[in-house]
Structure 1
Amino acid sequence: MQTTNGISILQIKNTQVSVCNNKKKEELIQFDQFDEDLIPKSKLFSPMNVNLNLKCVENYGNNKIYDINETGPNEQQNKSDQLLDQLNSKQRMDTSLLQVNVMTERLNNQNLIFYAPQYIPDVQHFLTQPVPVDKIVQCTLIKNKKGFCNFYPKFELYFSESLKFLCAGKRQSTKRKSNYIISSNVENFNSNNKSVCIGNLKYGTIENSFYLYDNGNDPNKSGQLETTRREYAVYFYKKSSLGLKSINVLIPSVINGQPQDFKPITQNQGIQKAFSQSKNENVMQLVSRPPTFSEEKNAYQLKFTQRVRAASNKNFIIISNNQQNDEEFILQFGKCGDEYYNLDICHPLSILQAFALCITQFEIKLK
């Protein structure tokens, strides 16, 4: 490793990767694959070089995580097992998109205040309500591959700074494709337990679509409107003209601080149908930011803040469908380590809507 003006430069297969310090503005350039004979990946993603926003990283030589869920006495049921045994497994990077990490003042430009309350009296209400205007919630998502999680993946969400557990989603062993229960308890995914089950993410009848509901009942099985499930969001994926993944998000509009209520009894009463009606003010459309072509790099690229540390085809940015300012975002999701992803959420999304959208990134396979 050599150092130039305080910036560590790592030579990997004749490709330079600049690891930024807090004072310099440099670019994190995508590379194809680690050659562990030259430099172990554990050194590149160690706490010495990259801030993973995880205070509990110890003994970075072994890259093990200990006591990642530091909860109080009233939250002991949410304690995780030791997550992610190692950070040093071999990793391949997506080469279809060059991702540039620019140390901009994007968060300052948006005049956002970090929002991470220590005491949350009603977890379900907190997770399902829109993030307050002019605030940003910074979380870290962890994909747990331990044990049977290879077959039934589990994703856990924490505040990045305090490591307070927020919620977890786990794929269910059903015949239908990609159904997830989202729970406020890291171990309990019983959909009948309304005290912990806060959401259901289901693969849609339309190809490459997902629907997010609360813990209410299926209208085909419920005889009462009061107990019918509420629809929180609809996610659509398609290939763009560039052959890259494009995301459309439909959510209830937020009016006077409250999201509009959708409890569809039939397919003609949901968010998707309401959006198809012209000038419907009860539904808001969000889209993924398209990459721009860099003639210098001869590749398509996206700009992320410093919380995104590694190139991945899971990385994406969500904006409003009519947004012009390329320095602002509503959601930013990107890799920061092996099976670790940072998630930044702004109004009008809720934490639950954002978390469910990120889970779909691991399920979608466009042809």
Structure 2
Amino acid sequence: MLSMKFGRGLKLRSRRVVQDRVVGAAKAMAPAPAEIGGSGQSPWVNLPPELLREVFARVEEDENSWPWRRSLVACAGVCRNWRQIMQEFVRTPEASGKLTFPISVKQPGPRDSLLQCFIRRNRSTQTYHLYLNLTLALADKGKFLLLARKFGRTMCTDYNISLQADDTSRGSRAYIGKLRSNFVGAKFIIYDGLPPHSGAKMMKSLSTRLMRSKQVLPRVPARNYQVAHILYELNVLGSRGPRRMQCVMDDIPAAAIEPGGVAPTQTKLTGSRIDSCPLLLMSHSKSKVSPQHEASRSKSSCRENFLHGPSTYQIDGALVLRNKAPRWHQQLQCWCLNFHGRVTVASAKNFQLVASAENGQAGPEHEKIILQFGKVGKDVFTMDYRYPLSAFQAFAICLSSFDTKIGCE
């Protein structure tokens, strides 16, 4: 009996030693992207796949959050073989509720819970940093996810969104999309720098024309995919009440919020610097869009006139989000929403989004909060989202709340 226990303990200890050595080697080798993909780069590349699968499974199981989860990223960055094996264990945020690799910010969040994040605003630089909450505390330092920078134009405002914390230019390979508003600040369009699904059509833009005329560098992304439209209701009479908004998610079918519903899931960050970066894992999730939604999307063309057109917008079959109506608190003399402790400061920017019911037929899925945003400090705001929104889409919607709105207050 003693020998069996001793043998088992020795076996577990040897596995831990191998695991520590594998992770240590991965961390030491990951910062050298130039060496990745070559042959004969290290004896670690030729480890038996069976051993790697066992070690990676234990690493993924033990590392539930950051910063320990960086070992997974380091292991996936050693070589192509390690990255392919790691794909078997790291699941999408929808299934795991975890953000691990850069592609995770473009994939829908968890179905059963809200993924907690927060935004830090820098007024002097007109930048907004999105972080993932590492703990339940509101004063959490967080894990950096995305950066947005505000650029004022003559008739509109752009918020460029990037994967890097110091570069938001359209020429950057870390650029993944943008938010554009009209002059009044009541209408917004979310553009994705990558196709949200296999059948997405690219919209013509200035960057596309410049690319064709060869007036810019070839690495500038010539992509412009409209994925959502945001509309704030005008309040020209100055009536009493909070902001009212709706979001039309062009590429998410309304059936996605129902049990068994599927939303498009991106699997690649094509054309970005991340393609050659070892710290990326591609997902195997398949994108599915209902035939009705495909038909409605095929009829739609470039909708830039939305910013200056009528005050209503709708796509048949698309998911429509509306802000949850607050209640008037007679004693406090203010409008109130239950944020379950995630919001501590009253602000006109605070909101909660739920799915809009079709034909007035609301079910339990229409009561679930899909996105909530609120103020907790002078320049700190919480952002919690769930399926079918991704971190990128939720971040862009929250950015619209920061913009100045003439005639909406």
Give TM-score, length-normalised by structure 2: 0.52
Q: Which moved more, 1:326-335 or 1:339-348?
A: 326-335
CA contact 1:127–1:351 (8 Å) conserved in 2: yes
Structure 2 stretches lacking a partner, 5+ long: 1-66, 75-93, 136-141, 195-201, 213-220, 257-261, 266-288
CA 295–189 in structure 1, closer or farther in 2 if over 3 Å, else same: closer
Letter in 2 for 1:253: I
1:189 and 2:225 equivalent? no
Shift of 1:116: 2.8
1:171 and 2:150 equivalent? yes
- 2:26 counterpart residue number: none
1:300 and 2:335 equivalent? yes
Measured against aligned partners, the alpha-carbon deviations of 1:142-193 in whole angstroms (never above 9, x if no partner) come to 0023xx41xxx10000111161110010012543432111000010112122
Measured against aligned partners, the alpha-carbon deviations of 1:65-100 in whole angstroms (never above 9, x if no partner) come to xxxx9996989xxxxxxxxxxxxxxxxxxxxxxxxx
Q: Hey, what's the Cα distance between the residues in 2 that align with 1:328 and 1:218? A: 33
The number of aligned residues is 251
| 1:284 pairs with one of 309, 319, 323 | 319
CA 320–306 in structure 1, closer or farther in 2 if over 3 Å, else same: same
For 1:1-367, what aligned pairs fall within 5 Å after superposition?
115-117=97-99, 119-120=100-101, 123=102, 125-145=103-123, 148-149=124-125, 153-161=126-134, 163-194=142-173, 196-204=174-182, 208-215=186-193, 219-221=204-206, 222=208, 228-239=223-234, 242-251=240-249, 252-254=251-253, 256-258=262-264, 265-267=301-303, 280-281=316-317, 283-322=318-357, 328-367=368-407
Q: Hey, what's the Cα distance between the residues in 2 that align with 1:70 and 1:171? A: 33
Rg: which structure is higher?
2
Letter in 2 for 1:136: L
Shift of 1:228: 4.4
Q: Which moved more, 1:311-320 or 1:234-243?
A: 234-243
Shift of 1:309: 1.5
Letter in 2 for 1:294: H
Instruction: Point out the structure with the larger helix share.
Output: 2
Q: Hey, what's the Cα distance between the residues in 1 that align with 2:143 and 2:333? A: 41
CA 206–70 in structure 1, closer or farther in 2 if over 3 Å, else same: farther
Q: Hey, what's the Cα distance between the residues in 2 that align with 1:172 and 1:362? A: 13
Shift of 1:134: 2.1
Letter in 2 for 1:166: L
CA 350–299 in structure 1, closer or farther in 2 if over 3 Å, else same: same
Q: Hey, what's the Cα distance between the residues in 2 that align with 1:201 and 1:132? A: 24
Give TM-score, length-normalised by structure 1: 0.58
CA contact 2:203–2:225 (8 Å) conserved in 1: no
Q: Hey, what's the Cα distance between the residues in 2 that align with 1:114 and 1:311? A: 33
Q: Which moved more, 1:180-189 or 1:303-312?
A: 303-312
CA contact 1:70–1:164 (8 Å) conserved in 2: no
Structure 1 stretches lacking a partner, 5+ long: 1-68, 76-111
Shift of 1:300: 2.9
Shift of 1:128: 2.0
Q: Hey, what's the Cα distance between the residues in 1 that align with 2:205 and 2:95? A: 43
The RMSD of aligned alpha carbons is 3.9
CA contact 1:191–1:215 (8 Å) conserved in 2: no
CA 340–347 in structure 1, closer or farther in 2 if over 3 Å, else same: same
CA contact 2:158–2:178 (8 Å) conserved in 1: yes
CA contact 1:210–1:234 (8 Å) conserved in 2: yes
CA 206–340 in structure 1, closer or farther in 2 if over 3 Å, else same: closer
Instruction: Point out the structure with the larger strand share.
Output: 1
Q: Which moved more, 1:211-220 or 1:129-138?
A: 211-220
CA 129–300 in structure 1, closer or farther in 2 if over 3 Å, else same: same
Measured against aligned partners, the alpha-carbon deviations of 1:81-122 in whole angstroms (never above 9, x if no partner) come to xxxxxxxxxxxxxxxxxxxxxxxxxxxxxxx998233x31xx
Letter in 1 for 2:246: N
Could you tell me the percent identity over the aligned residues? 22
Secondary structure of the residue aligned to 1:191 is coil
Letter in 1 for 2:394: A
Measured against aligned partners, the alpha-carbon deviations of 1:282-329 in whole angstroms (never above 9, x if no partner) come to x11100111112344444322211111221221111111125669731
CA 185–71 in structure 1, closer or farther in 2 if over 3 Å, else same: farther
Q: Hey, what's the Cα distance between the residues in 2 that align with 1:337 and 1:207? A: 24
CA 172–277 in structure 1, closer or farther in 2 if over 3 Å, else same: closer
